[in-house]
Amino acid sequence: MSSKQSGSSEVQVDLTAPDLSPYRQGNTGVDYYHRFDSGQAGPTVMVNALTHGNEICGAIALDRLFKSGFRPARGSLLLGFANIAAYENFDPMNPGQSRYVDEDFNRLWSADVLDGPRQSLELTRARKIRPLIDETDLLLDIHSMSGNSPAMMLAGPLNKGVDFAKAVGYPGTTIIDSGHAAGVRLRDYRDFGDPSSKRNALLVECGQHWHRQTGDMAWTVLLAFLHATKLADSAFLDAQGFSAPPSDQKVVRVTDVVTVSSDSFTFSKPFQGMERIEKAGTVIGRDGSADVTTPYDDCALVMPSHAARKGQTAVRLGRVMP
């Protein structure tokens, strides 16, 4: 365990970043991506970790799955570590610095960007991984958060995503949202964002980046995902102590994305996420000289980012569905 002063708050790192060098040599033609084919009919399923290099819970969960000797009971399973270059910069004494190298890997997933002329370390990596994403029917992309928010599944804007999140069952909160002004997420790439396609994707935010329970949540969600996609049989799940999810999931529909428009954005309180603000018009922050207020009663704050800069998402605002 180690800790580091970061701004005004102490950052505690309880999780240990695993050595991923054994996974460098994959069998897919892309470093750090592996395929396990059951030889049986079924979907191509991908579990992706390290879309953000500092979000190490997914790497821990995949390392554990590799070491378990898991093999899919049907279809095929792709396991991979996306922004490995950023991850290699991970330093537990300065854990916030390794989200990406040149730019956010999770804002690149539109054809115009991927096929465009721009170059960056993350774009090069995304272009290599893209053919594997193109053959993926069902994707789980594992993330974590800067704030001490409850874990949540980001299901995208479509009903098919919400249905998929409900089938997985963990974590207890599902968010209906459409991403960021700054670019398209992997979760929303191509067919995943097409209501007529059976392809489907989920992004899970497992908790605060480096808390112990975030690592536990990543593992639970991974098992639940393998359960929902029927790649894991009950013998494997029982051996891992997996239990069926509770049935009372909360669903929050994001109605507004607050994108920073000035050079100074501050929240009025140290919001962590999933606070519910009772009254419409409550000031929650200040963007330059303008107050940021809640648009309706009982407004949920989804993933406030206290480090967001101009053009980035500061917070999403949502309604809790009945």
Binding site for Zn ion (CB under 5 A): 52, 55, 143
Helix/strand/coil percentages in the chain, nearest 5: 25, 30, 45
Q: Which is nearer to Zn ion, 145 or 232 (CB)?
A: 145
The three-class DSSP label of residue 164 is helix
Q: Which is nearer to Zn ion, 237 or 257 (CB)?
A: 257
CB of 277 to Zn ion, least distance (A): 24
Q: Which is nearer to Zn ion, 104 or 137 (CB)?
A: 104
CB of 55 to Zn ion, least distance (A): 5
Q: Which is nearer to Zn ion, 53 or 245 (CB)?
A: 53
| Token pair in block for residue 129 | 């991984």
CB of 74 to Zn ion, least distance (A): 29
DSSP 251-307: EEEEEEEEE--SS-EEESS---S--EE-STT-EEEEETTEEEE-SSSSEEEE---TT
To the nearest 10 degrees (0 to 180), the angle between helices 159-168 and 212-228 is 110
Distance, in Å, from the CA atom of 61 to the CA atom of 67, rounded to the nearest integer, reads 10
Look at residues 177, 218, 132 and name the one whose alpha carbon lies nearest to residue 318. Answer: 177
CB of 102 to Zn ion, least distance (A): 16
CB of 64 to Zn ion, least distance (A): 19
Q: Cis before residue 171, ω within 30 degrees of 0? A: yes
Q: Which is nearer to Zn ion, 52 or 227 (CB)?
A: 52
Q: Which is nearer to Zn ion, 123 or 320 (CB)?
A: 123
CB of 204 to Zn ion, least distance (A): 10
Distance, in Å, from the CA atom of 64 to the CA atom of 243, rounded to the nearest integer, reads 18
| Token pair in block for residue 134 | 């193109």
